[in-house]
Amino acid sequence: VSKIILDCDPGHDDAVALLLAWGSPAIDLVAVTTVAGNQTLAKVTRNALAVARVAGIPPNTIPFAAGADRPLVRVQEVAAEIHGASGMDGPALPEPNIELDKRHAIDVIIDTVMSHPPGEITLVPTGTLTNIALAVRKEPRIAERVKEVVLMGGAIVGGNWSPCAEFNIVVDPEAAEIVFSAGWKVVMVGLDVTHKALATAAVRERILSLGTKPAKFADELFEFFKEAYRISQGFDAPPVHDPCAVAYVIDPTVFTLLQAPITVETQGKHTVGMTVVDTRYGKDGGADCKTFAATGINVEKFWDLVVDALQRIGDP
Ligand code: BDR
Ligand code: CA
| Amino acid letter for position 74 | R
Q: Which of 43, 131, 152 to mutate to test the pocket of ligand 1 (most atoms within 8 A of CB)?
A: 152
Instruction: Give the nearest ligand 1 atom to 191 CA.
Output: 10
Q: What's the gap in Å between 47 CA and the centre of ligand 1?
A: 15
> Does ligand 1 come within 6 angstroms of the Cβ of 166?
yes
| Amino acid letter for position 62 | I
Catalytic residue among 83, 104, 241, 270: 241
Distance between CA atoms of 144 and 123, rounded to whole angstroms?
A: 12
Q: What's the gap in Å between 51 CA and the centre of ligand 2?
A: 14
Instruction: Give the nearest ligand 1 atom to 13 CA.
Output: 6
Q: What's the gap in Å between 15 CA and the centre of ligand 1?
A: 11
Q: Which of 13, 222, 224 to mutate to test the pocket of ligand 1 (most atoms within 8 A of CB)?
A: 13
pLDDT tens for 103-135 read: 999 999 999 999 999 999 999 999 999 999 999
> Does ligand 1 come within 6 angstroms of the Cβ of 168?
yes
Helix extents (H) in 35-98: 41-55, 80-83
CB 168 within 8 A of CB 144: no
CB 300 within 8 A of CB 255: no
- pLDDT at residue 226 in the model: 97
- pLDDT at residue 283 in the model: 85
pLDDT tens for 240-285 read: 999 999 999 999 999 999 999 999 999 999 999 999 999 999 889 9
Measured torsion, CA atoms of residues 185, 189, 192, 197, in degrees rounded to the nearest 10: 160
Q: What are the strands of the beta sheet with 64-66, ordered from one edge?
A: 64-66, 27-34, 2-8, 121-125, 148-152, 186-189, 291-297, 255-259
Going 195 to 196 to 199 to 200, the CA torsion angle's sign is: positive
Q: For residue 188, what is the enclosing H or E element?
A: strand 186-189
CB 21 within 8 A of CB 306: no
Distance between CA atoms of 196 and 210, rounded to whole angstroms?
A: 23
Q: Which of 242, 244, 274, 275 to mutate to test the pocket of ligand 1 (most atoms within 8 A of CB)?
A: 242
**Would you call 44 helix, strand, or coil by DSSP?**
helix
| Amino acid letter for position 14 | D
User: CA 130 → CA 41, 67, 246, distances in Å?
Assistant: 12, 8, 19
Please name which ligand lies nearest the alpha carbon of 155.
1
Distance between CA atoms of 83 and 16, rounded to whole angstroms?
A: 13
Phi, psi of 2 (to 5 degrees): -95, 130
> Does ligand 1 come within 6 angstroms of the Cβ of 225?
no
Angle formed at CA 284 by CA 155 and CA 305, multiple of 5 degrees: 55
User: Does the active-site annotation cover 83?
Assistant: no
Q: Round the CA-based radius of gyration of the chain to a whole number and report it.
A: 18
Q: What's the gap in Å between 198 CA and the centre of ligand 1?
A: 14
Q: For residue 228, what is the enclosing H or E element?
A: helix 213-233
Q: One digit per residue, pLDDT tens: the chain, 316 residues? A: 999 999 999 999 999 999 999 999 999 999 999 999 999 999 999 999 999 999 999 999 999 999 999 999 999 999 999 999 999 999 999 999 999 999 999 999 999 999 999 999 999 999 999 999 999 999 999 999 999 999 999 999 999 999 999 999 999 999 999 999 999 999 999 999 999 999 999 999 999 999 999 999 999 999 999 999 999 999 999 999 999 999 999 999 999 999 999 999 999 999 999 999 999 998 899 999 999 999 999 999 999 999 999 999 999 9
